Structure 1
């Protein structure tokens, strides 16, 4: 059965803006291009400048790569240890007893990434459907300047198992009839028809393609549950399967995961390192059309 939506509309957020129980966060990061031949696929740049230029009143800013990722990892945005996350979320006043709302600019994938991370820590948050783009398009209030933040808290995680898997688990599940592996990248990258900034072109063998971009509308909101259900079903993604989702860096795949969660799927996991690791490891198999 469909679950209570992890989304919140702009109308619903506007109605609680200013509530002392609200904790509102802009999660935006930008992946900027790098010169050909670079050792990294892109440069991760926090969205603090666009935050200062305009944000939803009262919001704080979360720097995904700077504070909430494992900087010792070869890939960007890798899930760090629980202690690092407890300290970082605590600094930003995040409290599981509060109403937590996440948003981003341009695409919802940055806010859905934080949503998935928080779920893995035992905290349920809401994601603003359409993000700042829809909020601004509706002419709603905007504030400028640096984040004022919230009073610091002691954040205590209650980690839930199974939210992230590594390459060994993914490799072991290739060809497993009880598992479906879903690629959230675009079809040209899934099929290996274009050069990949992550390394070898192609996909995890046997994986199916439900691009995150096809799950969003022109106004940046996510598609309807019925449309999402049809897109996943067309690729053989059913509730009886263990579902592993991946993309390039473990970010856009969380859009797929949010919609699957909304639809009531509960055997879900994210291959965190995704193609940023897989495509660069010659010991791992890769498939193209």
Structure 2
């Protein structure tokens, strides 16, 4: 495991002290995912929310367009490294920059961009604990003013070991050294909902709901020592084990990957297509109920 350039998580006080530092690039990665009463969900850009209010100096990363593969059947799919580098450079993300990512919601859009930057070989990135809600709760300023973009050269190199495709996951189903982690709620994991084309979970995967790692009242991550004990009990910190997280569409899965980085495990891979891709392929197996322990 590599040694991070800076902590994977910072608090409001840390960022307030650096608001005037030109090397710090603050990124709002907000995306909206309204859940309709009927029919599939339709994700929406967070650009309007960003324009209404954001941390002073923050730039907006559109995870639905600029940082996604438009040709993919699933939203948010990782684009080419060339597309990512171009979009990141335009926002001022690149050599010499320290990036602080936040969102205006549950924090998983921020961890998605954190993971995506690391996938593309950029380590100088951290997440603001609690995002914009924590920032505002602390009395820190927000603005609707347009931020100045200062392009930088992005020279990262992709780490393919942090990404998994459907074919990769299918090929590793019988690999005892690969631990698949489903981060959805227990009912969805067991197949008791109607969320996807087919219900259940990928065979052999354990369930660790991503919302369990956050304080229900504040939205902040729970104490790292508590998380470490839970991760150890689930076998996620075992030597020789490759951990692959997945969710519905590759977003919430990055929340567990980020939390694992906080306890020293920064080599977690994410299945990008997750259940959206897996359940849409009738040739792939699904399991309902709980996995035997």
TM superposition shift of 1:8:
1.0
Q: In structure 1, list runs of 5 or more residues that go unmatched.
A: none
TM superposition shift of 1:235:
2.5
| SS of the residue 1:276 aligns to | helix
TM superposition shift of 1:99:
1.6
Aligned to 1:36: 38
RMSD (Å) for aligned C-alpha atoms: 1.7
TM superposition shift of 1:34:
4.5
Question: Does the 8 Å contact 1:93/1:149 carry over to 2?
Answer: no
Asked if 1:76 is matched to 2:54, the reply is no
Q: What TM-score does the superposition give when structure 2 sets the normalisation length?
A: 0.92
Aligned to 2:179: 180
Between the two proteins, the alignment pairs up a number of residues equal to 284
TM superposition shift of 1:207:
0.4
Q: In structure 2, list runs of 5 or more residues that go unmatched.
A: none
TM superposition shift of 1:216:
0.9
Cα distance in 2 for partners of 1:5, 1:264 equals 10
Cα distance in 2 for partners of 1:46, 1:93 equals 20
| SS of the residue 1:162 aligns to | helix
Aligned to 2:142: 142
TM superposition shift of 1:67:
0.6
| SS of the residue 2:64 aligns to | helix
Cα distance in 1 for partners of 2:278, 2:96 equals 38
* Structure 2 residue corresponding to 1:20, chosen from 6, 19, 22: 22
Question: Does the 8 Å contact 1:121/1:157 carry over to 2?
Answer: yes
TM superposition shift of 1:35:
6.5
Question: Does the 8 Å contact 1:245/1:256 carry over to 2?
Answer: yes
| SS of the residue 1:245 aligns to | strand
Aligned to 1:123: 122
Cα distance in 2 for partners of 1:237, 1:153 equals 36
Q: Deviations over 1:227-261 (max 9, x none)?
A: 21222233232332110100001001111001111
Question: Does the 8 Å contact 1:182/1:243 carry over to 2?
Answer: yes
TM superposition shift of 1:47:
1.1
Aligned to 1:251: 251
Aligned to 1:288: 288
Aligned to 1:231: 230
Question: Does the 8 Å contact 2:162/2:267 carry over to 1?
Answer: no
Question: Does the 8 Å contact 2:12/2:128 carry over to 1?
Answer: yes
The 1:151–1:234 alpha-carbon spacing in structure 2 relative to 1, beyond 3 Å, is same
Aligned to 1:5: 7
Question: Does the 8 Å contact 1:7/1:127 carry over to 2?
Answer: yes
Q: Deviations over 1:39-81 (max 9, x none)?
A: xx32111112221221111111111011100011011100000
Q: Deviations over 1:78-112 (max 9, x none)?
A: 00001101111111111231121110012110011
| SS of the residue 1:258 aligns to | helix
Q: What TM-score does the superposition give when structure 1 sets the normalisation length?
A: 0.93
TM superposition shift of 1:271:
0.5
TM superposition shift of 1:170:
1.0
Question: Does the 8 Å contact 1:212/1:255 carry over to 2?
Answer: yes
TM superposition shift of 1:206:
1.2
The 1:266–1:102 alpha-carbon spacing in structure 2 relative to 1, beyond 3 Å, is closer
- Of residues 268-277 and 213-222 in structure 1, the stretch that sits farther from structure 2 once superposed is 213-222
Cα distance in 1 for partners of 2:218, 2:36 equals 29
